[in-house]
Amino acid sequence: FSEQCWVCRALLANVCEGGKAAGNGKDGKGKGCGFGKGAGWGWGPMGMGMGWGGWGMDPWMMGKAAMWMKGGGKDKGGGWGEDQSHTFSSNQRVTTYAITVDASSAIPAQGMPTDAPALAYEKGVDVFGSGAHILGELVGDIATEVLITHDADWETYPEVGAAVKAASGEENCFAIAMCPSAGVWGIGVANGWKGREASCKVALALAICRANAPAAKSLGNRYPEFTALLRQQGVKGGKAAGGGGGGASYGGMSGDTPPVHMISVPADSVIVAGGLGLPAEGPAVMHPGKHMKEYFSNAHSILSELVEDVAAEVVFEDDPDAKALPEVAAAWAEAGGEENCLCIAKCTSLGCWGIGLAPGWKGRESAAKMALAIAIAQNMGKLEELSANPNYPEFGYMLSKNGIGDGQPKKKRKV
């Protein structure tokens, strides 16, 4: 038996007592969801009832041992039912615990419920790289809407640390993310600050979507890695993008796309001569504005499929006035692009770079991520694979319209 093996934990879960229903609903009757005895948490899909009941044991939520059992509440309502067995690939599993604190805790005193999801950060799991973008789409301005407290030493919320220990079986550093306007909170578990920050944002996004089904649907298919997590937890998220028959349909998309140009810089450019081993050629993508924002909504997710840790391996250098990279501005103009502010994204570990252009910083960053993803995918021979990915129909359509990938190549002028 190994504590680190999820199969062992799942087997253990099936022989452990799940806990009796507490039943906060009327007469404590009906199917629903709830707390009880158990080492782990799991969220299942919507069922009948309004109250809380017992828990299964498996923090991986594998099978019925980890779903919500009986609970309180009478008649039909918002409880949680049976597991639908939505799973991740083996390297994308997310360890999730359901945590509850006593009503006397400082958490409920701030208007929060006593329960929240806790997610254990793991490097290489895609959803943690998208956490800030997902949460941003749900709450708007994270800086003003979300309060994040890192409590590595259990000094502020020791009761949360104790609850996480009881669920996971070991002491862990954690961070809490609260959203007062949504009235929910989430917990991120990790040794490092970055891991806690990333996982608590995903946990809060999960809590928001659990409490507000329309919020989950509003994300559409832009974050397939988060949709998989939602479905594993029994929350209905956006539909996966689907194509029609016969060739690349790109989800039925049509019309204009953001311009993409392959540009070259001279040998004395700081890009080439900077000693980083970067090539002279790279893609440049312009973000035209809000009317085409859907083309960039998956930029981070696409880049994360190619780069293990975007935060650690990608460097962004903003140059809105083209003072540091005038040769790039000249190459963009020579290729037929409109004058605009620029940003370069570099990944020296993979020897690639890309240029994003837009009036505002957020637009430049998204466009730079998209450009870098194109460069890396080309370099790795994965451009066709990503272009055909049904989760990113806008990516394939944009490349096709610009003569990149499976489209007919358009000749681009180079300097």
pLDDT, tens digit, for every residue of 340-386? Answer: 999 999 999 999 999 999 999 999 999 999 999 999 999 999 998 88
**The pLDDT of residue 234:** 74
**The pLDDT of residue 394:** 86
Q: How far apart are CA 384 and CA 381, in angstroms?
A: 8
**The pLDDT of residue 19:** 38
**The pLDDT of residue 376:** 96
**The pLDDT of residue 357:** 96
- Residue 1: CA count within 13 A, CB half-sphere: 7
**The pLDDT of residue 65:** 32
The low-confidence residues of the chain, meaning pLDDT below 50, are 1-2, 4, 6-7, 10-11, 13-90, 239-249, 251, 407-415
**The pLDDT of residue 237:** 60
